[in-house]
Structure 1
Amino acid sequence: MANLLSWSAWTPYILSENGLGIWHFRFPSLLGTSQLAGMLPGAYLGPILSAFLVTAAADGRAGLRVWTGRLVKFGVSWRWYLAVLISVPAVLIIATLPLTDGDFRLPPVVTLLAYLPALVLQMVTTGLAEEPGWRDFALPRMQRRYGPVVGTLILGVLWGIWHLPLFLTEWGGWPHVDLLTPVEFVVSATALSFVMTWVFNRTGESLPLAMLAHTSVNNFFSVVGSQMFPQLTSRDGMHALLIGSVVVTIVLLVATRGRLGYPPSVETSVAA
């Protein structure tokens, strides 16, 4: 349902001059990008609406209360918010350095001042559109059925595939896209999913923290990445995300012995 709704709504964006150029119409640029007008409506129609409808049909009002409870679970230690805010850019900077020959520059003060407001915007657009579906609705069910590792692997691939039509638009760098780029993106999304699963589980299923981990990646590349690394290309950014996510995922899998913060008592109660 998420794919059907989003991909249908994205079709005009894909066919427009912001994509394949079949339809001679260009979506307006809002805040310097056409994505808000062309992509965001389809994003809101997909994961979050699908999760709401299926939860209401399958679990009723009680299920919706649990679903929305995770969505507004902000009451987590401030240390988690600080850790995510610092660690995500730090990992991406370290992963990007080898790809740009160490050409590193401190971003202007105005860029640093814009970082947090831009992050808030990412939270209410990208984060709110996607994560109530992927991490709030799907992840708990996937983990109960398949366990944290296999469940996250399945969800990560599905999450990455959901984005694939956007590679036919400006979002994905069209027309300068080769076949390897979407594949690399799906692998990166899958690796990042393991990190987000660990954050989600360790914070007692706090969706805002999972959203923050997701949107911090987007915000780094859209706000400060090009300022810090003048040579950075979109392909370099993809490589950096892949490298950083895979390395952190391996560390988490080893350190947690594949549990990713998932409490054993949950599996015990389900089995019982």
Structure 2
Amino acid sequence: MSGSAGSVKRRVLEFFALTFVVSWALWGLGAIFGTDSGIWPILSTLAGFGPLVASGVLSWRDGNVRSWAQQAIRWRTGLRWWAVALVVAPVLSLVGYGVYLALTGASLGLTDDPIVVVYPMLFFYILFLRGGFGEEMGWRGYALPHLLKQYNTTIAALLIGIGWAAWHLPLFFIQGTRQSGLFALYLVGVIGLSVIIAWLYTRSRGSVLLTTVFHAQWNVFDSGALFSVGGDAALVGPGASALVIWLFAGVLIVADSETMRSVHPSLSPFTESSART
């Protein structure tokens, strides 16, 4: 293995190891107190910042904090990529709901709460506190650009998707969390989302801001907070969602092969010369 390849592998493994230690320790501590305790929301929220903390610490160590952080404010990407960030996730989520309704005959309606109030509050809450910058500055802001030095976009996205899903694993065993169901289905869906978001990151020339918007939009619609859904088919919902995600991801891999089957080292904000190793 070349020195460059070894450096990429080492930094990504360091990132995932530190991320898991920070987040799993906080979730574990929260589980000891119980999800019905007053401290659980605080500890679980802090745990969600594990990827940001890990990537920030490693970027500081390597002398790349400024270039790493600048990805969070990269907004001059073109209107079409803003449209992708804002619209694609809701559309995919709604199509997934549609497949679920077609397969189960369940009913779907809007929540009784006013959408004009619920939606923006939930969006900004997630953007800043739950699955937004706290995660994206790590997954796409650190791990992805490192991997894009060595692997094509699709392979890099698959690797990150596995780690991203595995990071959530403790929540499937802590009673009282929103994570439930079959982890295998969740894994498939998250890996597919990782492919789509990696495509957006690459096409927007390294904008973590846009991947964060996409991530927040997905979590808003996928949470079910905007809808009231009748019926109870535990596996059909996640399965329908994963199917729709992978249909779209597959289209991207085939239709935009130049992006998805190429390495993109120029997108990396991290320079070997500035790293203190």
- Shorter chain as normaliser: what TM range? 0.7 to 0.9
- Is contact 2:119-2:226 (8 Å) kept? no
Alignment RMSD (CA, Å): 2.6
Pairing of 1:181-260 with structure 2 (within 5 A): 181-222=182-223, 224-227=225-228, 229-231=229-231, 235-257=235-257, 259-260=259-260
Task: List per-residue Cα deviations over 1:33-55 (Å, max 9, x = no partner).
Answer: x6x324111122x2111101111
Worse-matched range after superposition: 124-133 or 233-242:
233-242
8 A Cα contact 2:152 2:263, kept in partner = no
Contact 1:194-1:249 within 8 A present in 2 as well: yes
Partner of 1:140: 145
Please give the alpha-carbon distance, in whole angstroms, between the structure 1 residues aligned to 2:32 and 2:233: 25
Q: Identity rate of aligned residues, in percent?
A: 20
**Residues 264/166 of structure 1: CA separation in 2 closer, same or farther (3 Å cut):** closer
Specify which structure has the bigger relative contact order, considering alpha-carbon pairs within 8 angstroms and separated by 6 or more residues.
2
Question: Residue 48 of structure 2: SS of its match in structure 1?
Answer: helix
Matched, 1:110 2:85: no
Deviation of 1:146 after TM superposition, in Å, equals 1.6
1:28 match: 38
**SS state at 1:145 partner:** coil
- CA-CA distance at 1:171 after TM superposition: 2.4
- Aligned pairs for 1:93-132 within 5 A: 93-100=94-101, 101=105, 103-106=107-110, 110-125=114-129, 126-132=131-137
Query: Superposed, which structure 2 residues align to 1:54-73 within 5 Å?
Result: 54-58=58-62, 60=63, 63-73=64-74
**For residue 28 of structure 1, what is the amino acid of its counterpart?**
G
CA separation of 1:173 and 1:65: change in aligned 2, threshold 3 A? closer
CA offset at residue 121 of structure 1? Answer: 1.1
Change (3 A) 1:89 1:261: farther
CA contact (8 A) 1:148 1:258 kept: no
| Distance in 2 separating the partners of 1:258 and 1:171 | 40
Structure 2 CA distance for partners of 1:240 and 1:113, relative to 1, 3 Å: farther
One-letter amino acid of the structure 1 residue matched with residue 34 of structure 2: E
Using structure 2 for the length normalisation, give the TM-score.
Answer: 0.79
Q: Which has the higher helix share?
A: 1
Q: Deviations over 1:5-32 (max 9, x none)?
A: 11011112223432xxxxxxx3239xxx
- Residue 7 of structure 2 is matched in structure 1 by none
* Partner of residue 27, structure 2: 10
Deviations 1:203-257 (A, max 9, x none): 1111011011111111013354533x33366644422331221111001001012
TM-fit CA distance, 1:108:
5.1
Relative to structure 1, the CA distance from residue 221 to residue 28 in structure 2 (aligned partners, 3 Å threshold; closer, same or farther) is farther
Letter in 2 for 1:246: W
> Does the alignment pair 1:48 with 2:58?
no
Q: How does 1:149-168 map to 2 (within 5 A)?
A: 149-168=154-173
CA distance, structure 2, for counterparts of residue 84 and residue 189 of structure 1: 17
